[in-house]
Homo-oligomer: A and B are copies of this chain.
Amino acid sequence: MIIVMKPEATEAEVDRVLNRIAAKGLKPLHMPGSERVVLGALGDERVLAELALDGDPYVESVKPILAPYKLVSRELHPHDSLVAVGGASFGGNRFGLIAGPCAVETEDQLLASAQAAKAAGARVLRAGAYKPRTSPYAFQGHGPEALELLAQVGRAVGLPVVTEVIESGDVELVARHADALQVGARNMQNFALLKAVGAAGKPVILKRGMSARIEDLLLAAEYVLAAGNDQLILCERGIRTFETATRNTLDLAAVPVLKAKTHLPVIVDPSHGTGRRDLVAPMALAAAAAGADGLMVEVHVDPPTALSDGPQSLYPDQMIALGKQLGAVLGVLGRTL
């Protein structure tokens, strides 16, 4: 860690900070320059975070040298992690497609949508039982009944299922029915929930929050691993920017940035990432080309009647066409769907 002192810091102030560093067991360095005194602290700088040196009135800035996360970092764990959801695996040469409707609505809707997903090459079925919605007057999901229906349809079509959990109190129930637990963008920093899914013994898909920097996503992931669960998949799903032509701005560069920093698999959700049906296929192909380990795509048997996310849900034939194109692009990049 590098600590830049303010120009007005006296020698006594500098010594005080050096002593605080040494008291934590780190080796302090003193580098007086012509315009600023710069201090260094060699050792595990995460220990220094407790000192909160940036709260000191004589400290101008604090510049960390090391990443604030450990367990998710590629430095400790250089090889790609593989995460299995039912029989589907994410993170190796196998590219994993997750598809299904936004929400569990009815048995017919879910079954027909699941069949389209499977026909397109999906390895995991997705559908929501609990829907976090911006408005209290919007459809909030069918809850526990929907969990049962999802598990039943998953078995019927032969696909493992993933579904969102929105509170720590629901984790046990959801884990009983689902093969993987999804933590949505709005809950990426719901730390109680992160701790709970970290203890649930099921793989987790963690979506990037709308205003989360990549480092924030990795720290949220660190919560799950620190709670004992390393079966974690990260999901880029768009961030909020000034652009209004799309629902979110899909930050595809986050895929190779994340792959460089972490051993965890990284997938992309082009449905929420764009909010528009016509953009899902181009962004899905782009995600594959950018090196993603998988996709999460919304498909609905009849999008205009969908209770949520109709505008971004593919029609079944669009889903199947996308599966074919994906296979071709992945093929030339040395991966298989």
Contacts and interface: CB of A to CB of B under 8 A. Distances in A.
- A42, A219, A282 — most chain B CB neighbours (10 Å): A282
Contacts of A216: 134
A277 B304 CA distance: 40
Contacts of A210: 211
A57 B313 CA distance: 11
Contacts of A305: 52, 55
Interface residues of A, number: 106
B240 A135 contact: no
B189 A213 contact: no
Nearest to A309: B55
Contact of A285 (B29, B33, B254, B289): B289
Nearest to A226: B136
Interface in A278-326: 278-279, 282-283, 285-291, 303-311, 313, 325
A11 interface: no
A233 to B, nearest CB: 19
Contacts of A166: 190-192
Nearest to A134: B219
A10 interface: no
A97 to B, nearest CB: 15
Interface in A193-214: 193, 209-211, 213-214
Interface of A: 2, 4, 7, 29, 31, 33-36, 38, 40, 42-43, 46, 49-50, 52, 54-57, 63, 65-66, 68-69, 75, 132-140, 166-169, 186-187, 189-193, 209-211, 213-216, 219, 222-223, 226, 239-246, 249-257, 260, 273-274, 277-279, 282-283, 285-291, 303-311, 313, 325, 328-329, 331-333
13 contacts: A52-B304, A55-B303, A132-B189, A136-B223, A167-B190, A187-B190, A241-B251, A250-B251, A253-B279, A253-B282, A256-B278, A285-B289, A331-B332
Q: Which 8 A-B pairs have the closest CB atoms?
A: A55-B310, A211-B211, A289-B289, A286-B290, A286-B286, A285-B289, A328-B332, A186-B189
Given A31-B40, A133-B191, 15 more contacts: A36-B66, A52-B306, A52-B307, A54-B311, A68-B137, A132-B189, A167-B167, A211-B211, A213-B242, A241-B242, A246-B257, A249-B253, A250-B252, A256-B283, A260-B278
